Structure 1
């Protein structure tokens, strides 16, 4: 079962409400022409515009974007994960060593980096249960940091599928655990909390969370930890500001992130969350697209990969990078280049591309614009389970 394209949902939701295009466009602050192109598959629906449409329709953003269905063979794992989350405050009877948990958490980081959503979902219920039992048993900052890390993975998985009830629960538990851990864990929890606001289309609220967390980090950390914590928060800030079309705020976060990234020759990686020059560039590519600075997005990628430099980030970061470059190339009128990058996104992270709204929208628009049969598009459409 495929994920319906976000733009394809808009006309259906509008008609269910009994609204014409003029009424919805006016309520959302977009042109009727733009809305019509989105509904017909001639223009990609960005998540910023989707948030405006969701607010106008009085619907959750995930309903407009389309919630990814739970695969039939994963329903048991998802139910088990919810059960583990509900037992957050209940000491478990499982005995497990810190060393064993560290290894399991490292495996989880690899699965997350590879974009292996199915195996991550299969393993998370047991990992969440064991980290919680261990933390209740030893009650040390290190043990609660492990719980916080596990819940960061739960949030990430839920956000990818737009399972927002689970995402909301995950960041709540993550923050409680992080408060008993360390300042960097708390900064990661704030980043994920702001991410929930991002996923709901509440960009201003997300920026408020980021600003508050930045103040806390500046008062509680020093050295490399401080640079890392501030860096991941500024990356979240520039993404939120870009979606909100707040160019000045976005540029402030971009400048600060670049400055902090200069302190890292290689990408810093804590629990699968990267910061450094590469991930900063990846975020700037996406935000440049959100702000309609499409040539800037293409130039940023060219600078990142000049002299045949290979990007060291995992697939879960490079696949969305190609999606966002494809979006900018399409906006610049370069359909062939857009298709090339979309193919790369699918090659590097097929499970991620299958549920990602940007990948879905790009494929829908490319199909709409190609008047002749294209075997490459047909192949992607079959993988996405989209009618061609």
Structure 2
């Protein structure tokens, strides 16, 4: 798999320095406005501490910036500008079915190809195929006007959202979610509506507005419980609670964050139990006990409970076995975050290497992966061969 181009994008911690200086703020002024300690901000800027999403959101508020803006947008990879422009054009033409409707079997095969690229975290190939897939899906939905066709189109929009959110292209992410919601409404399917609510809550997550995001999740759960039954209800409720626990882990009030996170964790577990302990693929998403574990792990790290996160299992590879790379690799990044918080630099580096080896394209754009690498490389005063290797793999200067 291609690692794409070498990047000059700053890490999140480095981005904070630039944003602060652009606004003429001293460290003391920004720390006071953000209600964090000056010592913490200083350590983040010099690379002794990783910038967490919660702290990034706190720093963004007094600067009038979203969480995504503080973490920093990922630039489009070399040679992919045309694909991105074509994707934006296809999004604009949502109600102009200007392509010939593809045969359902051929369109289904292309959908499966896109799912595979997503599972492998191959955003480069995914960006290439999405414009055509979106236009063909639009034509098919307008021509067939069936629940299946509109749900398939909503899944394409959900995949566009996923790509955009990974890069922090939030204008594109918001537009994709709006189109996804529109597609679901053309021929309502409750399960598709649940996924759309999950993605809409994700835009609030990236903007740092976690309270409103949690409101979207709770409303989606109530709708799913009212309109769905059996396995589909468990799938929808689990999917929404996974988003809910992530949002809850970012609440500014840590006591409230823990309470809300634990509520969503319990609900997600109960729903996943109804699925018989197996993970299922639902409109491009993975839902079940293993993915619930992966989100539980990440939420504990966000809550500042690294020892509890690592204590959830003594066999992390086994707990993640069978999940797609899009879930396994970020979990290894979260394990690296947890070990870094506990002072285990070598363990953090080892888990970061696992993540980036299995998803090299993630190395270029994942904000916390880049941030952990920055801190680990700063703390290792003497260069290590593994640091130099990961620097080359990710395109991040060491």
Counterpart selection for 1:88 from 89, 94, 109: 94
- Whether the 8 Å contact between 2:363 and 2:393 is mirrored in structure 1 is no
- Whether the 8 Å contact between 1:140 and 1:181 is mirrored in structure 2 is no
1:50-80 Cα offsets, whole Å, 9 max, x none, are 1111111112322211111112310110010
1:304-349 Cα offsets, whole Å, 9 max, x none, are 55xx566110111100000000000111111111111000010111
1:80-118 Cα offsets, whole Å, 9 max, x none, are 001111110113241211121111111111110000000
Is 1:243 aligned to 2:250, yes or no?
yes
Tell me which residue corresponds to 2:4: none
Tell me which residue corresponds to 1:50: 56
Q: 1:12 to 1:149 in 2, by over 3 A?
A: same
Counterparts of 1:87 and 1:364, CA distance in 2: 41
Counterparts of 1:3 and 1:48, CA distance in 2: 21
1:187-206 Cα offsets, whole Å, 9 max, x none, are 00000000011011111110
Q: 1:349 to 1:2 in 2, by over 3 A?
A: farther
Tell me which residue corresponds to 1:220: 227
Tell me which residue corresponds to 1:141: 147
Supply the RMSD in Å over aligned alpha carbons.
1.3
Counterpart selection for 2:210 from 203, 215, 219: 203
SS of residue matched to 2:286: strand
1:252-284 Cα offsets, whole Å, 9 max, x none, are 001111111122322011122111111011001
Tell me which residue corresponds to 2:321: 311
Q: How does 1:232-271 map to 2 (within 5 A)?
A: 232-244=239-251, 245=254, 246-264=257-275, 265-271=277-283
SS of residue matched to 1:214: helix
- Whether the 8 Å contact between 1:285 and 1:301 is mirrored in structure 2 is no
Between 1-10 and 182-191, the greater mean CA deviation after superposition: 1-10
Q: CA deviation at 1:247?
A: 1.2
Counterparts of 1:2 and 1:355, CA distance in 2: 11
Unaligned runs of 5+ in 1: none
SS of residue matched to 1:73: coil
Counterpart selection for 1:79 from 77, 85, 90: 85
Counterpart selection for 2:291 from 268, 279, 287: 279
Q: CA deviation at 1:21?
A: 1.1
Is 1:8 aligned to 2:19, yes or no?
no
Counterparts of 1:226 and 1:353, CA distance in 2: 35
Counterpart selection for 2:388 from 372, 378, 382: 378
- Whether the 8 Å contact between 2:66 and 2:206 is mirrored in structure 1 is no
SS of residue matched to 1:302: coil
- Whether the 8 Å contact between 2:11 and 2:71 is mirrored in structure 1 is yes
Counterparts of 1:183 and 1:243, CA distance in 2: 28
Counterparts of 2:355 and 2:250, CA distance in 1: 21
- Whether the 8 Å contact between 2:56 and 2:71 is mirrored in structure 1 is yes
Is 1:333 aligned to 2:343, yes or no?
yes
Tell me which residue corresponds to 2:238: 231
Alignment: residue pair count: 386
Is 1:173 aligned to 2:179, yes or no?
yes
Unaligned runs of 5+ in 2: 1-6
Moved over 4 A (4+): none
Counterparts of 1:160 and 1:74, CA distance in 2: 15
Is 1:366 aligned to 2:376, yes or no?
yes
Is 1:24 aligned to 2:30, yes or no?
yes
Between 9-18 and 223-232, the greater mean CA deviation after superposition: 9-18
Counterparts of 1:176 and 1:242, CA distance in 2: 29
Counterparts of 1:311 and 1:107, CA distance in 2: 22
